[in-house]
Amino acid sequence: MQYQLAQSLDGVRNVDGVDLSLNGVPVSAPELTDPPERTLRIDPRPVVSVGESFGYLSASGDTFTPLEGVSDQVVALAPSAAAVGPGATSAAVLAADGVLLVAQGEETVLLDPRGGLITPALDVDGIVWSVPRDSPDQLAWFGADGDGAQIAVPWNADAIVSLQLSRDGTRMLALLADGARTRTVVASVQRDEQGRPLELGPVALELSGSVGTPLDAAWLDSTTVGTLTAPATGETRLSVQRLGAPAESRDGPVEGIQLDGANSLRDLRVLAANGDLVTGAGVAWQVQARDVRFIATQQTG
C-alpha cells in the first residue's frame, strides 16, 4: 500500500514522502524487494504546432496551452519538427539551421548544424539525439551544455526515418529503410552515472516486419511501439506491438504521415498530410483538430 501511494503521489507539489499510520500509530512497512514495474506517463494532451502556436491541444481541439518559457522560443525558430523534454521545460527543435535546444530561462543553443536531419529525440535525461536521414550510422548525442559525441550504432541501413527513446531512457527505437525492406529495431542505451550515453548495445529486438514505405515510429506507451507505413496500394498501415508480444495491424488513416502516443492505445494519434489530427475511434478515425503542422513527442517527468 505504501508503494502504491508513493507512486500515485509522485510529482505532486509539496509531497516529499509517504508514511502509514493505524489509529494514529505509525506503521513500519518493509521495502519491496521486487517492486512492480512502474508505468511512465506523459500529459495525455498532444503537443502540436498550428500556425503561430505551439503547445498542448485540448481534447476538443480548439484550445491551446503554451509551454511556459518554451513555446515562444520554439515558434520564433520557424520549426519543422520538435520533441518536448521532461516536465515540458525544454524542446529539441528541427529548423532551417539544424537541431537546436530551447530551455526555460536559457538562450537557444544550436546543437547540430548538419543538413538532412530527421526529427530529433529528447530523452528523460535531457540528452538530445540527432542523425541525418541518409546517414543512419552518423548518430550523435548532445547534452544541455552543447557537449556531445558521435556514437556507434548497431544497425546497417540505407536510411533512418524515425528515432525515439523509451520513457525510462533505456531503449532506443529506430525505423529504418533497408533497400525495399522496412525495419523497426530496438537497442539498449548504456549511460554513465550522470545519464550521459556511453554506447548502444546490440539490436536487442527486431520487431515484426512492416510492409511498404516507412513513415514514422513511436512509443505508444512505456512498453508498446507503433509503426506507420505506406504500402504500394496507396493506403497507410499501422502496426502496434507490445515488446515481447506479436504485432497487430490495422488500416491507418488516409495520407497519414506522423504517429504519436500517450498513455494507452486509446490515446493513439496520427497526423495526416492535409493537417488533420485524427484519433482511433473503433474501426474508424475521428478528426480531433485541423491545420496541424506537426506533433511533438513528449517525455515523462
Tens of pLDDT, residue by residue over 172-187, are: 999 999 988 899 999 9
Which pLDDT belongs to residue 208? 67
Which pLDDT belongs to residue 233? 76
pLDDT at 32 over 60: no
Q: Please, what sign has the CA dihedral across residues 143, 149, 155, 160?
A: positive
Cell of 190: 548504456
Cell of 285: 478515425
CA distance 271 to 48: 10
| Percentage of the chain lying above the pLDDT 70 cut | 85
Cell of 171: 531503449
Which pLDDT belongs to residue 219? 94
Q: What is the pTM of this model?
A: 0.86
Domains of the chain and CATH, by start:
45-293 (2.120.10.30)
pLDDT at 23 over 80: no
Mean of pLDDT values over 233-252:
88
| Percentage of the chain lying above the pLDDT 90 cut | 67
